[in-house]
């Protein structure tokens, strides 16, 4: 009883204190004046009017501008560019996703549109961007489904005390700092017609995200899988992911709702949806898939999974909590059998990761205009965003891990890993941009923050993490001339 008391009281105290502070800032910010509507200038020029065909050359050019031909060309350019930058990222010991995000930015107005405006407007005209958006969103939905499948509820339960405390403080602390920063940014950067509440909540959630897939890839590449640090980091990130996406669903519901009653109805429907998925769909799905796999009928399994993902995403969008949350939760309810999960992931990942996700990165790049933050004052604002992002996520995670009994080396390493944002951050930012909550300037700064915090994870780990080496018992070698490697001194990495 005393152990439970010591664990629960600090946890509730931390949540209560920061919850009150966030409410206090939101209450103060609600009295800030809402900026008047302003004319929004698109960073991508519309397609030039097609000329009537005259010669064969003109006819060929007109065929090239056909929506399907243009879409196929865009996809090829995106895939080639993403592959090149992904390979460069791997060569400098960075996750491929970092290179793919940079590739998208280079194809947008920040580089290609700046160096060669005519080619950018011809290759990515405004009228074609909707097709790229839909392709990217579908790929993102299936990617979020795979992320949901990677959530191991049993692993979270086995380390519930430490992991939940670390992950929730790593959310609530940066969330508080993000809301506080929003209070100072809103008068200058708040979008026209958007109140302080949705703006501050999105800034808070954007500061709180951890990229679970990128973190898992880093843990695997550094051979930390199965180590105490790797297990704790993955468990914290999994708990962080579940909590952050539930919070995001609530924030989107609040942002979309026109009134408090609508908001409460949306959140209530979301709770009903979650319980229905967990206690009705999950057992039915598990039994059906197990029977089909046992009979060797794997093709119907893929069809059932795809229908489940799309239906779940559609219901979530219908409720008002975004389709990506539905896709994510469809992954959470998949059968816990490792072989079944691997089979499903192999079918989905190739299409979503290699084909459709780079399209999402490119679309994000087309929205990101780094030239919007060319002034010194705006770079100072970006510096404040970086300070809040790193201080809140890395600092909050590391200090809490240390308080829970981890060594300073492990605590700082957990903080560095939890500070990884990557693709998950881009998902949140794009949702905020689509809802009109994030202005183009803030969007560009936050994309740069996501890139920087992801890029710095590897160097930070090299700097702060020192694996402990425990020597084993010394074994006596009978014949020095025939030394069996299995009998020599060995060391284990912890």
Rounded distance, CA 225 to CA 221, Å? 9
Task: Tell which phi-psi region holds residue 461, choosing left (phi > 0), alpha (psi between -120 and 50) or beta.
Answer: alpha
Helices and strands (DSSP H and E) totals, the chain: 24, 2
Residues 6 or more apart in contact with residue 2 via CB below 8 angstroms: none
Asked if 366 contacts 375 with a C-beta cutoff of 8 angstroms, the reply is no
- Alpha-carbon Rg for the chain, nearest whole angstrom, is 25
The pLDDT assigned to 494 comes to 31
Instruction: Enter the tokens of residue 312.
Output: 């779940």
Is 274 in a helix, a strand, or coil? helix
pLDDT above 50 (res 374) = yes
Report which of 246, 210, 235 is spatially closest to residue 325, judged by C-alpha positions: 246
Q: 47-56, 185-194, 285-294: lowest mean pLDDT where? A: 47-56
Select from 1.25.40.10, 2.40.50.140, 1.20.1530.20, 3.40.50.2300 the CATH code of 64-469.
Answer: 1.20.1530.20
Give me the phi and psi of 491, to 5 degrees please: -135, 145
Percent helix / strand / coil, the chain, rounded to 5: 75, 0, 20
Rounded distance, CA 433 to CA 476, Å? 67
Rounded distance, CA 61 to CA 275, Å? 54
pLDDT above 80 (res 299) = no
In this prediction the pTM is 0.70
Asked if 139 contacts 331 with a C-beta cutoff of 8 angstroms, the reply is no
Report which of 232, 248, 249 is spatially closest to residue 167, judged by C-alpha positions: 232
User: What is the band of 472 on the pLDDT scale with cuts at 50, 70, 90?
Assistant: very low
Asked if 344 contacts 305 with a C-beta cutoff of 8 angstroms, the reply is yes
Rounded distance, CA 181 to CA 150, Å? 33
Handedness of CA 387, 231, 213, 280 (dihedral sign): negative
Q: How many CB atoms lie within 10 A of CB 449?
A: 21
Rounded distance, CA 207 to CA 172, Å? 10
The pLDDT assigned to 51 comes to 44
Please name the residue ranges forming H helices in 43-109.
56-64, 67-91, 96-107
The pLDDT assigned to 131 comes to 82
Give me the phi and psi of 468, to 5 degrees please: -80, 140
pLDDT tens digits, one per residue of 47-96: 444 444 456 666 666 666 677 888 888 888 888 888 898 889 888 877 77
Report which of 462, 469, 402 is spatially closest to residue 170, judged by C-alpha positions: 402
Rounded distance, CA 88 to CA 96, Å? 8
Q: 198-202, 232-236, 258-262, 442-446: lowest mean pLDDT where? A: 258-262
């Amino acid at each position: 009883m005393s152990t439970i008391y010591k664990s629960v009281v600090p946890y509730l105290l931390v949540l209560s204190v920061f919850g009150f502070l966030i409410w206090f800032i939101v209450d103060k910010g609600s009295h800030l004046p809402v900026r008047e509507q302003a004319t929004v200038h698109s960073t991508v020029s519309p397609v030039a009017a097609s000329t009537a065909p005259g010669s064969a050359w003109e006819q060929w050019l007109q065929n090239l501008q056909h929506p399907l031909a243009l879409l196929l060309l865009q996809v090829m350019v995106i895939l080639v560019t993403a592959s090149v930058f992904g390979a460069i990222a791997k060569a400098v010991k960075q996750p491929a996703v970092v290179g793919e995000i940079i590739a998208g930015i280079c194809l947008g107005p920040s580089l290609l549109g700046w160096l060669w405006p005519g080619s950018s407007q011809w290759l990515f005209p405004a009228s074609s961007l909707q097709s790229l958006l839909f392709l990217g969103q579908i790929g993102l939905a299936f990617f979020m489904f795979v992320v949901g499948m990677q959530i191991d509820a049993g692993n979270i339960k086995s380390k519930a005390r430490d992991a939940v405390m670390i992950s929730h403080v790593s959310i609530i602390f940066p969330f508080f700092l993000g809301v506080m920063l929003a209070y100072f940014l809103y008068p200058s950067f708040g979008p026209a017609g958007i109140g302080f509440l949705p703006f501050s909540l999105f800034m808070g959630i954007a500061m709180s995200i951890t990229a679970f897939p990128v973190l898992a890839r880093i843990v695997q590449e550094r051979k930390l899988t199965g180590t105490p640090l790797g297990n704790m980091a993955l468990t914290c990130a999994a708990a962080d992911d579940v909590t952050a996406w539930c919070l995001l669903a609530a924030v989107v519901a609040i942002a979309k709702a026109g009134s408090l009653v609508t908001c409460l109805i949306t959140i209530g429907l979301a709770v009903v949806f979650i319980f229905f998925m967990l206690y009705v769909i999950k057992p039915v799905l598990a039994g059906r898939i197990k029977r089909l796999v046992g009979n060797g009928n794997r093709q119907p399994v893929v069809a059932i999974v795809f229908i489940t993902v799309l239906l779940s995403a559609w219901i979530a969008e219908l409720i008002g909590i975004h389709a990506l949350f539905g896709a994510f939760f469809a992954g959470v309810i998949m059968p816990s059998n490792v072989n079944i999960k691997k089979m499903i992931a192999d079918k989905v990942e190739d299409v979503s990761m290699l084909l459709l996700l780079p399209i999402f990165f490119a679309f994000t790049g087309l929205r990101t205009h780094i030239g919007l933050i060319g002034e010194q004052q705006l770079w100072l604002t970006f510096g404040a965003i970086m300070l809040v992002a790193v201080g809140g996520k890395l600092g909050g995670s590391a200090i809490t891990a240390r308080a829970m009994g981890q060594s300073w080396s492990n605590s700082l390493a957990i903080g560095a890993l939890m500070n990884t944002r990557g693709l998950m951050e881009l998902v949140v930012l794009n949702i905020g941009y689509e809802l009109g909550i994030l202005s183009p300037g803030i969007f560009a700064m936050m994309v740069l923050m996501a890139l920087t915090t992801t890029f710095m994870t590897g160097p930070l780990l090299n700097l702060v993490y020192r694996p402990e080496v425990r020597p084993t018992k010394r074994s006596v070698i009978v014949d020095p001339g025939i030394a069996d490697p299995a009998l020599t001194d060995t060391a284990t990495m912890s």
